[in-house]
A and B are shown apart, each in its own frame.
Chain A
Amino acid sequence: MDELLLPAQRLFGAAWPTVWTLAKIIAITVPLILCVAYLTLVERKVIGWMQVRIGPNRVGPLGLLQPFADVFKLIFKEIVVPTGASRTLFFVAPVLSIGPALAAWAVIPFDDGLVLANVNAGLLYILAMTSVGVYGVILAGWASNSKYAFLGCLRSAAQIVSYEIAMGFALVGVLMAASSLNISDIVRNQSGGLSHWYIWPLFPLFVVYLVSGIAETNRHPFDVAEGESEIVAGFHVEYSGVAFAVFFLAEYMNMILISALASIMFLGGWLSPWPTIPDGLPWLLLKMCAVLFIFLWIRATFPRYRYDQIMRLGWKVFIPITLVWIVFLGAMMQTRWAYLFH
């Protein structure tokens, strides 16, 4: 591989590291955007099948070109800026929501050594980036100068701040088990087959993480921020065309990110379930698909939560569960059963 790159390295000279990093970023981003495009199709198909419908089947064979039709439709639509909107912030908001969603992928390891930035504090970086994503939603709601958008943004801000705590505590359990903040190390510590994955010793934390992840991404059944039946479309009600598409992209990208993180932290990332089968990227993708399917499954199954129930679940159920499990984990690590929790 290195020999193959030598001519390119000579061509760019001192700028080579920058060019090479850019190439890596593009190699992550482009497949990601394609994944988002097809996730929207899969979502509609899966929910369609669950509700005994067919789903989109008109554009291309089996409806496979539907995402592109949607994209072209959105690109050619006019972007309407509401009267009295705060113009700059109105356009900054979608950028702020997609920026962190993309930036978090920098530390996601796809295979052993296949990671853009192998930083030591990777887990913290992920937490920081996902917590910044809320600004897009808040600003969109405020800058739109619309009641519905504002209500949506307030709900979303409260919800994200509440569930972030439970999510952070769930990851504290992971870092206790792995005794590392480096995401690649966390995966390597789970090697040795299915029984070594952290989903078993940390099962309550896995459930909390997954549900908080759904709440963080404002997905059904926690989508009061969008709540079609109450506040039209919530924070992005005033957005149209490409600006709306960017919000959409950010939401789905966050979904994929949460599924990737759940696979990495609890399901062994790129590791295969049996030590005899070789590890690799396909395993990670398979696990991500399974988690994403759970997201869609939940969306097709459950009714929307009431706002006070969301708050109760976050503060009175999840945070106590995670706290108790962290203390239990710490206590067990001092006993002779500690090997079960590493």
Chain B
Amino acid sequence: MTAQTVIFYAFAAILVFAALRVITSRNPVHSALWLVLSFFSSAGVWMLLHAEFLAIALVLVYVGAVMVLFLFVVMMLDVNFDKMREGFRGYIPVGATVGLLILVEMALVLIGGYLPAGATPSPGQTGPGYSNTSALGRQIYTDYAFPFEIAAVILLVAIIAAIALTHRTRRETKYQNPNEQVKVSRADRLRIIDMPLEKKE
């Protein structure tokens, strides 16, 4: 067993354990943190596949931004677990069916691409000058430029839709306009009054 194999199994074991804890831990904040750990471990696995850009992007986007916002929301929720567990048994048949269907679908997709152990193509030795990031960039912006742009537009639509759904003007809220506050001058705020001297009685 080479060092790389050992590292792979270590990351994979942590990943599976963390993923299990995401769905089994009782506290939603703990679940979110376990999810962070599982993102980190999968980034480690990707790094072993020489996919450095994807690995770092996973940490940057999911760990650094998405999960922070997730935690932000989850921390402020007061989740009542007893209430959530009500009717758990009633949902088991539906949940189990959906779960089974997903499992079958995934199996159908994955079995075709599954290779026996040893036959999986290794990423191969790359020279020291090889940059995974620039290779990926070239692919995206030449061969897949069109799909990439479509994905970008879909994301843009999603952003606008999310803002349009949540944004509403509230009449009762008073807003400050920082532009006006910054532009304020002495003449707007200060009035110098001339007062005649008063004699002490």
Contacts and interface: CB of A to CB of B under 8 A. Distances in A.
Contacts of B18: none
Interface stretch (A65-73, A118-126, A261-269, A289-297): A118-126
Interface residues of B, number: 23
Interface of A: 89, 119-121, 124-125, 127-128, 131-132, 134-135, 138-139, 142, 150, 154, 157-158, 160-161, 164, 181, 308-309, 312
B53 interface: yes
A139 B32 CA distance: 11
B57 interface: yes
Mostly helix, strand, loop or mixed at chain B's interface?
Answer: helix
27 contacts: A120-B132, A121-B52, A121-B53, A121-B131, A124-B60, A125-B56, A127-B56, A128-B59, A128-B63, A128-B64, A131-B59, A131-B60, A131-B63, A132-B63, A134-B64, A138-B68, A138-B75, A142-B71, A154-B72, A154-B75, A157-B71, A157-B72, A161-B65, A161-B68, A164-B65, A181-B133, A308-B178
Given A120-B52, A142-B75, A132 B133 contact: no
A142 B29 contact: yes
A120 B72 contact: no
A181 B133 CA distance: 9
Contacts of A134: 64, 68
Interface of B: 29, 33, 36, 52-53, 56-57, 59-60, 63-65, 68-69, 71-72, 75-76, 131-133, 176, 178
B61 to A, nearest CB: 9
A308 B173 CA distance: 14
Contacts of B29: 142
Contacts of B65: 131, 161, 164
